[in-house]
Amino acid sequence: MADKAYQVIVRGRFAPLDAGQRAALLARADEHDVFAARFTEEGTVTYERSLLGFTFRCVVRATAEDAAKVVTGRAEALAAAAVRGLGADHGDLTSVATDLDSIKVRPRGR
In a domain, 27, yes or no: yes
Helix (H, G, I), strand (E, B) or coil at 82: helix
Q: What is the dihedral of CA 26, 27, 30, 31, to 10 degrees?
A: -110
The total domain count for the chain is 1
Helix (H, G, I), strand (E, B) or coil at 75: helix
In a domain, 110, yes or no: no
Q: Is the dihedral of CA 61, 7, 25, 18 positive or negative?
A: negative
pLDDT digits (tens, 9 = 90+) for 57-91: 999 999 878 888 899 999 999 999 999 999 999 98
In a domain, 107, yes or no: no
In a domain, 23, yes or no: yes
The domain that holds 83 is classified in CATH as 3.30.70
Domain limits for position 30: 4-101
In a domain, 106, yes or no: no
- Looking at residue 110, what is its pLDDT? 60
- Looking at residue 2, what is its pLDDT? 59
The pTM (predicted TM-score) of the whole model is 0.87
CB-based contact 105:94 (threshold 8 Å): no
In a domain, 37, yes or no: yes
CA dist 66 and 71 (Å) reads 7
